[in-house]
Structures are given as C-alpha cells and as structure tokens.
C-alpha cells in the first residue's frame, strides 16, 4: 500500500528524485498550550547536535492556550540562520490553520499531518504523510490526561524518520530538555517519539527530497535566546539593582536573570544577596527605581518593551538632564499601542533616540546576536556610568525570545569601569567639585555618591534648571551652557559606542545599512544578489547610536544606499536624515518590512531588485 | 576702631561635634508664613539634636512647593528632587543601592495623593525603611490654588468654589496597607512634630507623617479646612509625646499609669501619654475607626496613629547584603570564569 498520496496527473518527484541535504525549513503548526514547545525544541536540538547549523523561530499568539502557533526550524549547511519564508516541510497539527498552511506551500513541499484532517485532498503537488496521532498516542501514554502533551512528540519521531535525523540525538535532546529531575516525563515522551518513528518506518516510503546529514558545524556552540544572553551579560557586568514590570517580550530577560542571580550572586560567606530585584508596580516605578539606584551608585537596569518605553519617557528625560546612569533593555515588539505583543519589530528606534520632552538624545546599542547581547550588556553598564546617562540596549522579540545558535561567550577580561566618581580623599585633594562642570573636555562632570563622608560631597540633584554647581537656576546663559555641554557629551559618545561591522564589496555601487536582527536577512540577501543577479553589495551594520563617522564614509563610497528597517516609517533612515548633509541623504533608499515576523532575505533581495529597476 | 579681643562664646554642638548650621540648607524661597518652612525648621532641629550624621541622609522629593523644601535643610546631605508623584520610586531605588542611608522624603498632598497615589501605596505596601513627610495643605500651591485629593468635601477655594469630592486620608491608607509608623501633626505644633520626626528617625521601616501645613497664599481663608484657623478650632491632640534617644543615659523608668512606652528599633523610646481619649496606637483597626469617626465630625486627630516597630521591612525580605550594593567590589559582583563556563556547558 502506497502512502504517497499525490494526484497521478501531476506527480511530484518520487524516491528517485534529487536529494536536498541540510538546507530546508520545517514549520510546525500547532495550537498554543498543547506542549508543542518541547517537541519543537527537541527537534531543533537534534539537528544542532548532528552538527547542522540551525535556527528556531516561534510565531506565537498573545494568549495562553487555544490559538494557532507556528514554529519554524531552519537547517542550513551554509550557516544562514535568518528566517526563510519558504517552507519545505510542514507538520500540520492545527485543524484551524491546516488548510491555509497547506495552500501556502510551494510545490514539492512535504506535509506531515494528522490523518483525520485529510489534507491530501487539498493539493496534488505536495508530498503527504498522514499520521494517526490519536491511535499512536494511546498505547504509549496510558494516562489520558497527559496524552495532549505527549502527542506532539510523535511528530518528532515521524520527522526524524523522514529527514534521517538520528534517534540517538532525539533522545539526548529529550533528556537535556527535561533534565534529571523529570526523568519520567522524558521516558514518556521518548516512548511517543519512538512510536512515531516506528510507525513512519513501517508505513512511509520517502518521496520528498529533504534530508539531514551529520556535519561538524556546531561543535562547541551553545543554544540560547537573546533575553537569557542579555541576562547573563548583566550578571557578569555586575548589575546590583534590577527593577522591572512584566511585559512581553522582555519578561523572560529578567526572569532568566533572577534565575542566574539566585544561583551565582549570593555571598558565599554570608549567603546574602549582592543584588536586589524588585518587580515594580508599573514602568513608571521601574525606571524611577533604576534611576534612584543609579544615582546612589548601583549598577542598575530595567527591561521593557514599547508600551513600557512610552511610560518611562518622563523619567528618561530626568535621567538625561540630571545625568544618571541606568541601562534599559528594550526588547522591541510590534506597536503602536498594544499592537502585536508577540510579534517582532524595530519599532522604538526613533522614539528612544529622543525619548522625553525638550531637547533630549540618548545612546542606543544594537546587538544582533546572543554573543552581542552578552558583550553589549556588559559594555552598556560601563558606558552608562562612563557617560552618566541612561543607555538603551535595543533588541527585539526575534532576538530576545527565539533560540539561537551561538559561539560560547568569552569571559569579560576588562575590569568593571565605574566612571567619574569622587571619593572623600579626592575632595580633600581638590577642595570641592562642581557636579556639572566639564573638567575633562568630554562633557562629563564628576559626581559623588550619597554616603560619601565629606562636608563638600553633597549636591542637590534636580530635573529643574541647574548650573555647574547643581544649584537651581533659570538664567538664560546657565541653561544654554548646560544644554550645549550635554550636546557635546553626546558627540563624545560617537567614538565610544560599539563600532560598526563593515563589509565593503569591491566595485559595489550599492550598499546596505542595517541594525540588529536585520543582519541575517541582509547578509543572506547580499549572497543572493551576487549569486542570482551578479550584483555586488557592501554592507555596514551599526551597533551603536550616535552613529560613528563611518556613516558618511560608507554613503559617499556608494551610489545608492539601502537602509533596512523593520518598521513602517523607516525609523533608522529617519534618524540618519537628522544628521546627514542633503547630498548624502539623496543617496539613501529605504527597504522596510513591518509584518511582525523576523525579516527574511528574500524580502530584502526582491525589494532591492525592484528599486534597482532590474 | 575697636580692637576688642573678646572671645566668642563656645559654639553649641551636638554629640557628633556639629553645629546646627551643619544641618541647615539654603534660604527658603517659599512664602513667608508657609507651614512648610516650620517643618523644615523641625527637621533641622531633630537631625541636629539627635546627632544624625548628615552624610548618611539622602533627601528625596517630587514636584511642588513641598518638594522644593529639601533644598532648605540638611545641606550636607545628598538630595534628589525628582518628577511629580514619583519620589517613592527614586527613594526605593536609592535605598536598595545603599541601605546604610537614612532616607528622608518630603512631598505634598498633590504629589502624594493625586498624581503619586499609586507609588505612595506601593511604597507603603513594601514598608521601605524611610521617612515620608507629607506637607499637606489641600491645594496645589505652585500652580496657584487648585484642589488636591486631600481637600475635604465642602471646603472652598479662595474663589469660593467648593470641593465636591471626598478626600483621601493618607494616614488611613498608610495604616491599612503596611506602613509601620504613621502619625499626623500640624506644622504649628513644634513639640509634637519634633517628637514624631525623632521617632521616625529611630524607626526601622516606613514612617508616614502627614503634617497639616497651611498654604498662607491659597488656602488659609474662611472655608478652608487646612488653614491655621481651622486647625486651631478642630485639631484634636491625641497624646503628649516624648522621645527618649537610645544614647541618653537616663535610665528607662517604668512608665506611670496612662503612659505607654514603645521601644524603637535602635533602642530609643517613644513615651505616649494619653490625653483624655483612650487611643491605642498599636491597634491598627481601632485606629482606622477613630480616623473615620473624626472625619465625620470634622475633627483632625493628631499624634501617633500607629506604631509597629517589629514588622519586617523590605530589605530584610530581599536578604540584602549588609554593605551598600552601590560600592561592592568587582570580586563580589562579577562571577568567576568557572561559573560562566558552567552556564555555557548547560547550553551546549
């Protein structure tokens, strides 16, 4: 009995067709709350453990249970880990979306599906593999209450058979996922995976071309989400006060951090915490606490997303004007308003650059990977204290909440830099200080911390007009002098924010500018443009704002420069327009994607070609 | 020309050897006769008399007339005048960063009961160890006389417009939701306010002190319930208070009949002598009832409304290190190379 259910009139390539190895994407369509996260993570890990570069992207609803969710796993022997729009291998578990999911597939894709859905009737140009999940789960999971959760593991076994994923690796991934304490759950799930594998082995004749094969491209690497990487960075940066208010997609950043701090930041002698974490009543309070702590000398941070940023606006202005260090992790999501809370966007770039009323400017760091989440978190704490100002670390839901393959993080060798803080002895030597005086020419004054035991140490911090000595003033000259110094300080930051990554292509007429997670799509797009169209493109990825002088150089070198934005209004481009000369602005073009999913290379390539008129 | 060599009399100093001048701030810019100025004077006296080290005090305020006043006392202490209604957050953060600091917040009724009611309630809920003084005049002075959320129902503005919404009683809120020292006083009652501020200095937990502090420019007229005149007629003083500092050599006498002795966290004592009425400041629920009844009668009860020196405060719940987090060395705050390796191994 053949299980290849294709229409005889339009046969797709059968078992004799070509093979596509380690270059495919799997999409699993399920209902959230059904325990599919475990099955998906195990599938992704199994590929990773076989040495194949892999990425996983969870597209989930803002809901706890019952709504559609999709998990995409991309395996790429070339190491591309950005999202790929085209799905090669669909696992259709959700009756609500199955029809649309199948109709969207390109010809030749494979579909594993729950047999009663009868998806094979929809199209004749796909490879269908029907699986009777309910029948298979009953014998391996006698407890009917658990079946819903174990059922998904069956597709891991089926997919493992169809893609030649090694079952030993599936088992290893399962054990890792459940840990030693949940050995029973791991056993139960392993039984389900095996049942799926055995069913597929005795039932299916493989007809699709996709196949996994052991490589050696992931040795030593780790799998981590960006939020956990930021959390680790914060811990190794020596964060001492963490204040937060839960908001998707940033909550898991602080939750990871709490987990790490509890394990690794208690004094071994006293057992006491060398940190404080406060879940605040709202974001007004979380940023206020972070600034209060930063003022008093702590390394303080908060983490939030767009709606929280809006609420923090007033306090960020105070932090700017009163010059108080704090690190704000902004895990961007789709706005405006509540927007799409579980979808990704680079939606806060413009807002954060000038957050709050009056003339304000704020530095931003743009990590694109877990490695940079870790290293830039550490840099951000040093930077905030060095420049005595709030710093935004701009990640997004894609980076923050998805699992990424990453190189192990190097231990921070540079000692912690606490910036310009005067002690009582310093004050004896200097005979006093003026809090907001630009002594060193970098616009940054010296501060003292509350508790400094010296009659000349105190000063009065305020968000109202103040002179060099931190005294109240409404004088025109005092105000202008202070604001000019703050502007000068911002200019001084250009050389100190993380520098850009520049890739100049020889003879390239066009160039790309991007930040953060646009990186994966842009790099892959550069390869696509070369391979498919013979177009060479240079690429500069900024990792910090204010932009370094590389911006002008890069634009001058090219005829046309495409600024890639994951938002509707070309926010990154708009920020560049604010400081560029008209001749350079004239060279800028915009590529924008704002659908809420991680940016993919094909979108960038197609839009570039369209604008290039090719 | 005089060449007199008369030596000046020795300057009076406190137990730290500091003169009262060391506890003063810059010259006030508030209106002459403003109740807030009297409160500033009481703060100077209390901190001087108890010999509190000004280097160990951090001043906080929000926005408004009241919130300007931290510039007018304790000039040798660091101060932070933040944003409207959000002083509790700043103070909480700063105290977390350096738990050895004595936090002194000064706020107004607009700053606390209107825009800041949320942060105030959460400060209370956390029982953050600090002193929180509400300079309560029922109006927004700095924006020229609008009602605040502590204005009594029926009280009038200078224009004659009457307030038709009920007031928040900040003391009742503080008692209900977790503050551990709650008192109400009147800016014109020097002795009572001194005893209350001194007790707050000794208290280990949140002290909420609501001080009726008349606004001479916008709310001291007939029809105001926060005026000097109204307080003269309607204040009902609950107790006679006496604060005995821990370092005083006076042996603690056995309290006579009618005197309650409360030992504070630092070993000092608050002596409470009842005046006529049988108010028990350790009975929270009864106290709330008293406040409710007084409000109905148009009376303003002043004195210690609630005291509980034993309830755990926020920093203990966090199991916070004794040394200030702000200045912990890198050896305490950056985990080792081996720990990073351990974490990475788990992620492989």
Q: Closest Cα partner for A222 from A373, A428, A84?
A: A373
B298 CA: distance to closest CA in chain A (Å): 34
Per-domain boundaries in chain B: 20-327
The pair of three-digit structure tokens given for residue A508, joined into one six-digit string? 């390239």
Asked whether A433 and A456 are in contact (CB, 8 A), the reply is yes
Asked whether B332 and A264 are in contact (CB, 8 A), the reply is no
Q: Could you give the CA distance from residue A74 to residue A27 in angstroms, rounded to a whole number?
A: 9
Task: Grade residue A149 by pLDDT with cuts at 50, 70 and 90.
Answer: confident
Q: Could you give the CA distance from residue B219 to residue A465 in angstroms, rounded to a whole number?
A: 28
State mean pLDDT over A405-411: 97
Burial class (CB in 10 A: 0-12, 13-18, 19+), A479: middle
B174-177, Cβ contacts within 8 angstroms, sequence gap of 24 or more:
B174/B124, B174/B206, B174/B208, B174/B306, B175/B284, B175/B287, B175/B288, B175/B291, B175/B305, B175/B306, B176/B284, B176/B288, B177/B121, B177/B124, B177/B125
Chain-wide mean pLDDT for chain A?
Answer: 95
Q: Does A432 touch chain B (CB under 8 A)?
A: no
Q: Could you give the CA distance from residue A40 to residue A26 in angstroms, rounded to a whole number?
A: 10
What is the third-level CATH fold of A501-612?
Rossmann fold (3.40.50)
Q: What is the pLDDT of residues A338-348, one digit of tens each?
A: 999 999 999 99
Q: Does B71 touch chain A (CB under 8 A)?
A: yes
Shared fold status for A20-211 and A501-612: no
A235 CA: distance to closest CA in chain B (Å): 7
Q: Which residues of B touch A318 (CB under 8 A)?
A: 82-83
Asked whether A315 and B84 are in contact (CB, 8 A), the reply is no
Asked whether A543 and A367 are in contact (CB, 8 A), the reply is yes
Distances, alpha carbon A9 to alpha carbons A12, A108, A109, A123, A497, in Å:
10, 14, 17, 12, 61
Please state, for a pLDDT cut of 70, what percent of chain A lies above it.
97
A398 CA: distance to closest CA in chain B (Å): 19
Q: Which residues of A touch B53 (CB under 8 A)?
A: 453
Write out residues 314-343 of A within 8 Å (CB-CB) of B: 314-315, 318
Scanning every residue of chain A, which has its alpha carbon at the shortest distance from the alpha carbon of B320?
A273
User: How confident is the model at residue A17, as a pLDDT?
Assistant: 65
What sign has the CA pseudo-torsion A38, A41, A47, A50? Answer: negative
Write out residues 91-120 of B within 8 Å (CB-CB) of A: 91-98, 100-101, 118-119
Do the Cβ atoms of B340 and A409 come within 8 Å? yes
Do the Cβ atoms of A464 and B81 come within 8 Å? yes
Q: Does A474 touch chain B (CB under 8 A)?
A: no
Q: What is the pLDDT of residues A521-557, one digit of tens each?
A: 999 999 999 999 999 999 999 999 999 999 999 999 9
Do the Cβ atoms of A240 and B97 come within 8 Å? yes
User: How confident is the model at residue B8, as a pLDDT?
Assistant: 77
SS3 track for A591-602 = EECCCCCCCEHH
Q: Which residues of B touch A289 (CB under 8 A)?
A: 89-90, 92-93, 96
User: How confident is the model at residue A35, as a pLDDT?
Assistant: 78
Task: Grade residue A2 by pLDDT with cuts at 50, 70 and 90.
Answer: very low
Counting one residue from A and one from B, how many pairs have CB atoms under 8 Å apart? Answer: 220
Task: Grade residue A11 by pLDDT with cuts at 50, 70 and 90.
Answer: very low
* Ramachandran sector of residue A40 (left: φ over 0; alpha: ψ -120 to 50; beta: rest): alpha
Q: Does A454 touch chain B (CB under 8 A)?
A: yes
For residue B255, pLDDT beyond 60: no
Q: Does A160 touch chain B (CB under 8 A)?
A: no
Q: Could you give the CA distance from residue B44 to residue B37 in angstroms, rounded to a whole number?
A: 11
Task: Grade residue B251 by pLDDT with cuts at 50, 70 and 90.
Answer: low
Write out residues 1-60 of B within 8 Å (CB-CB) of A: 22, 53-56, 58, 60
Q: Could you give the CA distance from residue B155 to residue B225 in angstroms, rounded to a whole number?
A: 6
Rg (C-alpha) for chain B, rounded Å, is 22
Task: Grade residue A367 by pLDDT with cuts at 50, 70 and 90.
Answer: very high
Q: Could you give the CA distance from residue A126 to residue A122 in angstroms, rounded to a whole number?
A: 9
Scanning every residue of chain A, which has its alpha carbon at the shortest distance from the alpha carbon of B121?
A281
User: How confident is the model at residue A125, as a pLDDT?
Assistant: 96
> Which residue bears the tokens 């000097």?
B228
**Can you name the residues that pair with B57 across neighbouring β-strands?**
B102
Do the Cβ atoms of A278 and B96 come within 8 Å? yes
Scanning every residue of chain B, which has its alpha carbon at the shortest distance from the alpha carbon of A236?
B334
Residues 6+ apart with CB under 8 A from A377: A229, A230, A232, A233, A234, A237, A327, A329, A393
The DSSP annotation for A304-357 comes to E-HHHHHHHHHHHHHHHHHT--EEEEEEE-B-STT-BTTS----SHHHHHT-SS
Q: Does B337 touch chain A (CB under 8 A)?
A: yes
Query: What spatial distance separates the first Cα and last Cα of chain A, rounded to whole Å?
Result: 50
Do the Cβ atoms of A296 and B321 come within 8 Å? no
User: How confident is the model at residue A22, as a pLDDT?
Assistant: 97
The pair of three-digit structure tokens given for residue B71, joined into one six-digit string? 């510039």
Do the Cβ atoms of A460 and B97 come within 8 Å? no
Q: Does B338 touch chain A (CB under 8 A)?
A: no
Do the Cβ atoms of B319 and A278 come within 8 Å? no
The pair of three-digit structure tokens given for residue A3, joined into one six-digit string? 């299980």
Homologous superfamily of A224-406: Thiamin diphosphate (ThDP)-binding fold, Pyr/PP domains (3.40.50.970)
SS3 A29: strand
Do the Cβ atoms of A454 and B98 come within 8 Å? no
Do the Cβ atoms of A274 and B332 come within 8 Å? yes
Burial class (CB in 10 A: 0-12, 13-18, 19+), A282: middle
Per-domain boundaries in chain A: 20-211, 224-406, 424-493, 501-612
Task: Grade residue A65 by pLDDT with cuts at 50, 70 and 90.
Answer: confident
User: How confident is the model at residue A66, as a pLDDT?
Assistant: 81
A607 CA: distance to closest CA in chain B (Å): 37
Task: Grade residue B250 by pLDDT with cuts at 50, 70 and 90.
Answer: low
**Can you name the residues that pair with A128 across neighbouring β-strands?**
A111
For residue A126, pLDDT beyond 80: yes
Mutate to test the interface with B, among A223, A271, A289 (most CBs of B within 10 A): A289
Candidate from A30-39, A218-227, B55-64 with smallest mean pLDDT? A30-39
State mean pLDDT over B22-31: 95
Do the Cβ atoms of A280 and B54 come within 8 Å? no
A507 DSSP 8-state letter: T
Q: What is the pLDDT of residues B322-336, one digit of tens each?
A: 999 999 999 999 999
Q: Does B317 touch chain A (CB under 8 A)?
A: no
Homologous superfamily of A20-211: Pyruvate-ferredoxin oxidoreductase, PFOR, domain III (3.40.920.10)
Asked whether A51 and A402 are in contact (CB, 8 A), the reply is no
Do the Cβ atoms of A292 and B348 come within 8 Å? no
Query: What spatial distance separates the first Cα and last Cα of chain B, rounded to whole Å?
Result: 89
Homologous superfamily of B20-327: Thiamin diphosphate (ThDP)-binding fold, Pyr/PP domains (3.40.50.970)
Q: Does B326 touch chain A (CB under 8 A)?
A: yes
Task: Grade residue B6 by pLDDT with cuts at 50, 70 and 90.
Answer: confident
Residue with the larger pLDDT of the pair A65 and B289: B289
């Amino acid at each position: 009995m053949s299980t290849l259910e294709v229409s005889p009139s339009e046969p797709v390539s059968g078992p004799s067709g070509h093979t596509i190895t380690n270059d495919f994407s799997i999409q699993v369509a399920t209902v959230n709350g059904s325990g599919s996260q475990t099955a998906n993570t195990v599938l992704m890990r199994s590929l990773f453990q076989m040495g194949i570069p892999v990425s996983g992207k969870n597209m989930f609803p803002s809901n706890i249970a019952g709504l559609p969710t999709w998990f995409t796993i991309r395996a790429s022997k070339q190491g591309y880990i950005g999202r790929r729009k085209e799905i090669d291998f669909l696992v259709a578990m959700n009756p609500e979306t199955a029809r649309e999911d199948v109709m969207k597939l390109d010809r030749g894709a494979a579909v594993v599906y729950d047999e009663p859905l009868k998806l094979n009737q929809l199209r004749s140009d796909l490879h269908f593999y029907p699986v009777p999940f309910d029948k298979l789960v009953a014998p391996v999971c006698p407890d009917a209450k658990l079946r819903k959760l174990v059922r998904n593991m069956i597709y891991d076994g089926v997919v493992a058979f169809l893609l030649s994923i090694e079952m030993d690796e599936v088992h290893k991934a399962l054990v890792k996922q459940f840990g030693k304490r949940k050995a029973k759950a791991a056993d139960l799930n392993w039984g389900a995976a095996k049942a799926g594998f055995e069913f597929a082995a005795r039932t299916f004749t493989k007809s699709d071309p996709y196949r996994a094969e052991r490589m050696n491209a992931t040795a030593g690497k780790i799998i981590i989400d960006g939020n956990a990487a930021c959390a680790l960075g914060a811990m190794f940066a020596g964060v001492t006060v963490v204040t937060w208010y839960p908001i998707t997609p940033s909550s898991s950043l602080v939750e990871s951090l709490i987990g790490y701090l509890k394990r690794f930041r208690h004094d071994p002698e006293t057992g006491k915490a060398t940190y404080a974490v406060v879940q605040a009543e709202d974001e007004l309070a979380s940023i206020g606490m972070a600034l209060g702590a930063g003022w008093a000398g702590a390394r303080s941070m908060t983490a939030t997303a767009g709606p929280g940023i809006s609420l923090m606006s007033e306090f960020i202005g105070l932090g700017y004007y009163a010059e108080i260090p704090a690190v704000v992790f902004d895990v961007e999501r789709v706005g405006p308003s509540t927007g799409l809370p579980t979808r990704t966007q680079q939606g806060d770039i413009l807002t954060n650059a000038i957050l709050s009323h009056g003339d304000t400017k704020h530095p931003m760091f743009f990590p694109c990977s877990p490695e940079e989440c870790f290293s830039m978190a550490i840099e951000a704490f040093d930077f905030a204290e060095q420049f005595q100002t709030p710093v935004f670390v701009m990640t997004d839901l894609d980076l923050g909440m998805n699992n990424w393959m990453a190189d192990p993080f190097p231990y921070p060798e540079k000692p912690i830099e606490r910036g310009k803080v005067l002690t009582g002895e310093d004050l004896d030597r200097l005979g006093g200080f003026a809090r907001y005086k630009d002594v060193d020419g970098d616009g940054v004054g010296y501060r003292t911390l509350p508790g400094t035991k010296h009659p000349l140490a105190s000063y009065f911090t305020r968000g109202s007009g103040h002179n060099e000595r931190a005294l109240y003033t409404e004088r025109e000259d005092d105000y202008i002098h202070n604001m000019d110094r703050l502007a000068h300080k911002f200019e001084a930051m250009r050389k100190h924010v993380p520098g850009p990554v520049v890739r100049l292509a020889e003879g390239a007429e066009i160039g790309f500018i991007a930040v953060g997670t646009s990186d994966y799509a842009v790099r892959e797009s550069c390869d696509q443009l070369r391979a498919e169209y013979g177009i060479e493109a240079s690429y500069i990825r900024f990792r910090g704002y204010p932009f370094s002088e590389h911006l002008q150089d890069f634009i001058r070198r090219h005829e046309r420069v495409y600024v890639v934005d994951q938002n509707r209004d070309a926010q990154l481009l708009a920020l560049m327009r604010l400081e560029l000369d008209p001749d350079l602005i004239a060279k800028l073009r915009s590529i924008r994607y704002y659908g809420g999913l991680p940016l993919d290379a094909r979108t960038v390539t197609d839009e570039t070609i369209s604008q290039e008129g090719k | 020309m005089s060449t007199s060599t008369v030596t000046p009399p020795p300057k009076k100093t406190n137990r730290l050897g500091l003169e009262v001048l060391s506890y003063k701030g810059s010259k006030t810019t508030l209106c002459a006769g403003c109740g807030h100025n009297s409160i500033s004077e009481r703060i100077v006296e209390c901190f001087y008399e108890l010999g509190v080290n000004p280097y160990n005090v951090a001043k906080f305020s929000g926005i408004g007339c009241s919130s300007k006043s931290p510039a007018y006392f304790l000039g040798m202490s660091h101060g932070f005048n933040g944003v409207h209604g959000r002083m509790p957050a700043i103070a909480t953060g700063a105290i977390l960063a350096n738990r050895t600091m004595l936090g002194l917040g000064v706020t107004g009724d607009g700053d606390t009961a209107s825009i800041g009611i949320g942060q105030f309630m959460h400060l209370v809920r956390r029982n953050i160890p600090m002193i929180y003084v509400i300079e309560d005049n029922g109006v927004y002075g700095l924006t020229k006389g609008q009602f605040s959320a502590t204005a009594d129902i029926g009280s009038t503005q200078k224009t004659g417009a009457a307030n038709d919404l009920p007031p928040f009683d900040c003391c009742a809120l503080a008692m209900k939701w977790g503050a551990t020292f709650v008192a109400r006083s009147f800016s014109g009652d020097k002795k009572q306010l001194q005893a209350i501020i001194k007790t707050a200095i000794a208290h280990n937990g949140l002290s909420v002190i609501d001080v009726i502090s008349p606004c001479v420019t916008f709310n001291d007229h007939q029809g105001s319930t926060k005026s000097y005149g109204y307080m003269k007629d309607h204040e009902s003083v609950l107790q006679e208070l006496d604060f005995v500092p821990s370092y005083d050599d006076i042996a603690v006498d056995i309290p006579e009949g009618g005197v309650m002795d409360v030992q504070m966290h630092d070993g000092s004592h608050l002596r409470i002598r009842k005046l006529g009425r049988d108010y028990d400041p350790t009975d929270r629920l009864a106290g709330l009832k008293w406040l409710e009844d007084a409000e109905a009668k148009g009376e303003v009860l002043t004195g210690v409304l609630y005291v509980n020196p034993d309830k755990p405060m926020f920093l203990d719940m966090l199991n916070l290190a004794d040394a200030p987090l702000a200045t912990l060395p890198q050896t305490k705050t950056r985990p080792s190379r081996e720990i990073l390796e351990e974490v990475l191994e788990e992620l492989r």
